[in-house]
A and B are shown apart, each in its own frame.
Chain A
Amino acid sequence: MGALAETRGAPAPAGAFRPANDEGQNAEGSARALLRFITCGSVDDGKSTLIGRILYEAGAVFDDQLTALDADSRKFGTQGQAPDFALLVDGLSAEREQGITIDVAYRYFSTAQRSFIVADTPGHEQYTRNMATGASTADLAIILVDARKGLLSQTRRHSFIVSLVGVRRVVVAVNKMDLVGYDEAVFRRIEADYRTMAAGLGFTTVDFIPVSARDGENVTQASRLTPWYRGPALLPFLEAVTLAGEAPEAPGFALPVQWVNRPDLDFRGYAGMVAQGRLRVGAGIAVLPSGRRSSIARILAPSGEVSQASAGQSVTVTLADEVDVSRGDVIASLADGPLIRQDLRARLLWTGEAPLREGGEFILKLATTTANASVTQLQHRLDVESFAEVPADELPMNAIGLASLRLDRPLAVQDYVQSRELGGFILIERLSNQTVAFGFIDEGLSTQRGAGMAGQEPSLRRALVRELGRPGSARRRAFVSGLSWRAGSSLMLAGATIALGASEGLAATLAIGDFVLRPLAHRVHERLWRRDDAGALQDGAGI
Chain B
Amino acid sequence: MIQLSHLQKLEAEAIFIIREVAATCEKPVLLYSIGKDSAVLLHLAMKAFHPGKPPFPLLHVDTTWKFREMIAFRDETARRLGLDLIVHINQEGVGAGVNPFSSGSRLHTDVMKTQGLKQALDKHGFDAAFGGARRDEEKSRAKERVFSLRSAQHRWDPKNQRPEPWRLFNTRKAAGESFRVFPLSNWTEKDVWDYIALENIPVVPLYFAAPRPVVRRNGAWIMRDDERMALLPGEMVKTRLVRFRTLGCYPLTGAVESEAASLTDIIAEMRASRSSEREGRVIDHDGSGSMEQKKQEGYF
User: Does the CB pair A267–B52 fall under 8 Å?
Assistant: yes
Shortest B62–chain A CB gap in Å is 28
Q: Given the complex, which residues of B lie within 8 Å of A313, measured CB to CB?
A: 2, 4, 8, 12
User: Does the CB pair B6–A33 fall under 8 Å?
Assistant: yes
Instruction: Give the one of B12, B139, B159 with max A CB within 10 A.
Output: B139
Instruction: Give the one of A93, A367, A421 with max B CB within 10 A.
Output: A93
* Closest chain B residue to A133, Cβ basis: B163
Contacting B at CB under 8 A, from A1-27, are: 18-23
* Bound-state Cα–Cα, A23 to B10, Å: 14
0 or 1 for each of A146-188: is its CB under 8 Å from B? (1 = yes)? 0000000000000000000100000000000000000000000
Q: Given the complex, which residues of A lie within 8 Å of B53, measured CB to CB?
A: 263
Determine if A344 is an interface residue (Cβ-Cβ < 8 Å).
Answer: no
0 or 1 for each of A123-153: is its CB under 8 Å from B? (1 = yes)? 0000001101100110000000000000000
Chain A residues within CB distance 8 Å of chain B: 18-23, 28-29, 33-34, 62-65, 68, 71-72, 75, 88-94, 96, 102-108, 115, 117, 129-130, 132-133, 136-137, 165, 246, 248-249, 258-259, 261-264, 267, 269, 271-273, 278, 300, 302, 308-314, 316, 327, 351, 363, 365-368, 420-421, 424-426, 428, 433-435, 438
Q: Given the complex, which residues of A lie within 8 Å of B15, measured CB to CB?
A: 273, 302, 314
0 or 1 for each of B1-38: is its CB under 8 Å from A? (1 = yes)? 11111101101110110011011000000000000000
Shortest A91–chain B CB gap in Å is 3
What are some 10 contacts across the A-B interface (CB < 8 A)? A19-B273, A21-B188, A23-B191, A94-B159, A129-B163, A165-B165, A261-B51, A272-B16, A310-B1, A434-B162
* Bound-state Cα–Cα, A94 to B3, Å: 41
* Closest chain B residue to A370, Cβ basis: B172
User: Does the CB pair B9–A312 fall under 8 Å?
Assistant: yes
Q: Given the complex, which residues of B lie within 8 Å of A105, measured CB to CB?
A: 139, 142-143
Shortest A245–chain B CB gap in Å is 10
User: Does the CB pair B52–A103 fall under 8 Å?
Assistant: no
Instruction: Give the one of B19, B140, B174 with max A CB within 10 A.
Output: B19
* Bound-state Cα–Cα, A264 to B11, Å: 25
Q: Given the complex, which residues of A lie within 8 Å of B277, measured CB to CB?
A: 21
Instruction: Give the one of B50, B189, B273 with max A CB within 10 A.
Output: B50
Chain A residues touching B, majority SS: mixed
Shortest B28–chain A CB gap in Å is 12
Determine if B91 is an interface residue (Cβ-Cβ < 8 Å).
Answer: no
Q: A22-B270, A91-B140, A273-B12 are in contact. Are A426 and B165 (CB under 8 A)?
A: yes
From A91, A103, A314, B12 is in contact (CB under 8 Å) with A314
Instruction: Give the one of A102, A261, A425 with max B CB within 10 A.
Output: A261
Determine if B276 is an interface residue (Cβ-Cβ < 8 Å).
Answer: yes
Q: Given the complex, which residues of A lie within 8 Å of B159, measured CB to CB?
A: 92, 94, 102-103
User: Does the CB pair B143–A428 fall under 8 Å?
Assistant: no
Determine if B274 is an interface residue (Cβ-Cβ < 8 Å).
Answer: yes
Q: Given the complex, which residues of B lie within 8 Å of A103, measured CB to CB?
A: 143, 158-159, 161
* Bound-state Cα–Cα, A75 to B46, Å: 46
Q: Given the complex, which residues of B lie within 8 Å of A22, measured CB to CB?
A: 190, 270-271
Instruction: Give the one of B15, B47, B159 with max A CB within 10 A.
Output: B15
Q: Given the complex, which residues of A lie within 8 Å of B13, measured CB to CB?
A: 314
* Closest chain A residue to B50, Cβ basis: A300
Q: Given the complex, which residues of A lie within 8 Å of B6, measured CB to CB?
A: 23, 28, 33-34, 115
Determine if B289 is an interface residue (Cβ-Cβ < 8 Å).
Answer: yes
Contacting A at CB under 8 A, from B165-206, are: 165-168, 170, 172-174, 185-186, 188-191
Q: Given the complex, which residues of A lie within 8 Å of B5, measured CB to CB?
A: 28-29
Q: Given the complex, which residues of B lie within 8 Å of A312, measured CB to CB?
A: 4, 9, 12
User: Does the CB pair A106–B186 fall under 8 Å?
Assistant: yes
User: Does the CB pair A136–B165 fall under 8 Å?
Assistant: yes
From A92, A132, A271, A365, B292 is in contact (CB under 8 Å) with A92
Determine if B265 is an interface residue (Cβ-Cβ < 8 Å).
Answer: no
User: Does the CB pair B19–A133 fall under 8 Å?
Assistant: no
* Bound-state Cα–Cα, A29 to B1, Å: 11
* Bound-state Cα–Cα, A249 to B163, Å: 29
User: Does the CB pair A424–B166 fall under 8 Å?
Assistant: yes
Q: Given the complex, which residues of B lie within 8 Å of A351, measured CB to CB?
A: 163
User: Does the CB pair B172–A433 fall under 8 Å?
Assistant: yes
Q: A94-B158, A133-B164 are in contact. Are A258 and B19 (CB under 8 A)?
A: yes
Q: Given the complex, which residues of B lie within 8 Å of A92, measured CB to CB?
A: 140, 143, 158-159, 292
* Closest chain A residue to B7, Cβ basis: A28
User: Does the CB pair A68–B190 fall under 8 Å?
Assistant: no
Q: A108-B135, A130-B163, A133-B165 are in contact. Are A262 and B52 (CB under 8 A)?
A: yes
User: Does the CB pair A259–B23 fall under 8 Å?
Assistant: yes
Q: Given the complex, which residues of A lie within 8 Å of B218, measured CB to CB?
A: none
* Bound-state Cα–Cα, A386 to B5, Å: 42
* Bound-state Cα–Cα, A64 to B6, Å: 28
Determine if B288 is an interface residue (Cβ-Cβ < 8 Å).
Answer: yes
Q: Given the complex, which residues of B lie within 8 Å of A438, measured CB to CB?
A: 163, 165
Determine if B275 is an interface residue (Cβ-Cβ < 8 Å).
Answer: yes
Q: Given the complex, which residues of A lie within 8 Å of B166, measured CB to CB?
A: 136-137, 420-421, 424
Q: Given the complex, which residues of B lie within 8 Å of A102, measured CB to CB?
A: 158-159
Q: Given the complex, which residues of B lie within 8 Å of A89, measured CB to CB?
A: 139, 142
Determine if B136 is an interface residue (Cβ-Cβ < 8 Å).
Answer: yes
* Bound-state Cα–Cα, A165 to B163, Å: 14
Shortest B45–chain A CB gap in Å is 12
* Closest chain A residue to B279, Cβ basis: A64
Shortest B165–chain A CB gap in Å is 4
Determine if B128 is an interface residue (Cβ-Cβ < 8 Å).
Answer: no
User: Does the CB pair A132–B163 fall under 8 Å?
Assistant: yes
Determine if B249 is an interface residue (Cβ-Cβ < 8 Å).
Answer: no
Shortest B113–chain A CB gap in Å is 21
* Bound-state Cα–Cα, A22 to B193, Å: 11
* Closest chain A residue to B134, Cβ basis: A108
Q: Given the complex, which residues of A lie within 8 Å of B170, measured CB to CB?
A: 365, 426, 428, 433, 435
Q: Given the complex, which residues of A lie within 8 Å of B172, measured CB to CB?
A: 363, 428, 433
Q: Given the complex, which residues of A lie within 8 Å of B165, measured CB to CB?
A: 132-133, 136-137, 165, 424, 426, 438
* Bound-state Cα–Cα, A424 to B167, Å: 10
Determine if B101 is an interface residue (Cβ-Cβ < 8 Å).
Answer: no
Shortest B138–chain A CB gap in Å is 8
